[in-house]
Amino acid sequence: MNTSIAEMMRSDADRFRPQGICKRALPGYRKMNRVFVRLMFEDNSPLRQFEYWMRIDLDIRFHHRIAFDPFIVMKAGNFVFGYHVCSRHGGCQEGFPGFALNYKTTHNLTVTTELGEEYVRTHTMFYGNIGMGEVKFFTSTPVLNYLRAIDNEGGIWRQRWGDQHIYVSVIMFFSDANRTVSISKMLNATHKSALLKGGPCKFFQRVKMNADSYIQVYDDKAMLISDVQGFKVLESYGPAEEIIAQNPQIQHILK
C-alpha cells in the first residue's frame, strides 16, 4: 500500500501544507489517516478479499479475553460499523463539517438518522483506537467516491482531518445509525494506560426507535441485543436456548 504524497500534492503544495491547530502533527500520523480514510478501501486493497475489517491500535491493552466474536456480531446484526465508545471533539477538524455537509447537498444524499447532519456539524466521533467495518459497505462506489473526495480536498494533510469524525459522516450519509453497534460493554481496555470510558452515541434522543429487545440467531448461536436510545448494544452471547431460558422477559418476542 503506497502512502507517499501523491503527485497532486507536489504540484499544489500550498493546498496541502500543514496549518491550523494540528499543524505540528507528524507526517506519519497524516499518512495513517490516509490509510484509514481511503487507501485501505481502494481497488488494490487486500481487504477486498474479506467480509469485515477490524482495527486495534498497538497502544491498546486488553485486561481480559474478549468473550465474543466481533465478526459474528457484525454479521448477525447486519451492521456496517462497530466501535468502542462515542465522543465529541472539534480538534483537527477545521473545515471538515462544512466540506462534508456541502458534499451531502451537492450529491443529493438523504440522511435517515434523526439529527444526522447535526452530529456531523458538532464534531461527533467514534473513538478510533478500536473499530470494525463491513468491507462491502466501505468499498461501495458511493462511499469510496466520498472518501476519495475527502482525500483529494487535502484536509487530511492540511488540518489533519481524522478517520474518527469522517466515519460518522459516512454512516450518516450512506447508511443509518441503526446499522452500527457499540461494543463498549464487552471490553475492558486501556489506551496508553488510561481506561477507555464512555458508551454508545446517543442517537435518536427525541424518538426511541426499535426499543424492544430482540434475538438474532447466527450459526446456532444467539445474541440478546437491546436498544439504548436507538442503538443496538450486545448484552449476551451464547447458545440461543440458554439465553432465552435465562431471560424470561424476552420469551414473548419469539412467539
Which pTM was predicted? Answer: 0.87
**Distance separating alpha carbons of residues 192 and 176, to the nearest angstrom:** 32
Highest mean pLDDT among 73-77, 110-114, 217-221, 241-245: 110-114
Coil, strand or helix at 200: coil
In single-letter form, the type of residue at position 1 comes to: M
Q: Cell numbers 480514510 label which residue?
A: 37
The DSSP bridge pattern shows strands 221-228 and 231-239 to be antiparallel
**Distance separating alpha carbons of residues 239 and 150, to the nearest angstrom:** 43
pLDDT digits (tens, 9 = 90+) for 223-255: 777 766 556 777 777 777 788 788 776 666 555
pLDDT digits (tens, 9 = 90+) for 169-184: 999 999 998 899 887 7
Contact 142, 148 (CB under 8 A): no
Phi, psi of 80 (to 5 degrees): -105, -15
Q: Say yes or no to pLDDT of 97 above 80.
A: yes
**Distance separating alpha carbons of residues 205 and 194, to the nearest angstrom:** 29
Which residues partner with 238 through β-bridges?
Answer: 222
Which of these ranges, 10-19, 30-39, 135-144, has the smallest mean pLDDT? 10-19
Model confidence band, residue 167 (pLDDT cutoffs 50, 70, 90): very high
The secondary structure of the chain in percent helix, strand, coil, rounded to multiples of 5, reads 40, 20, 40
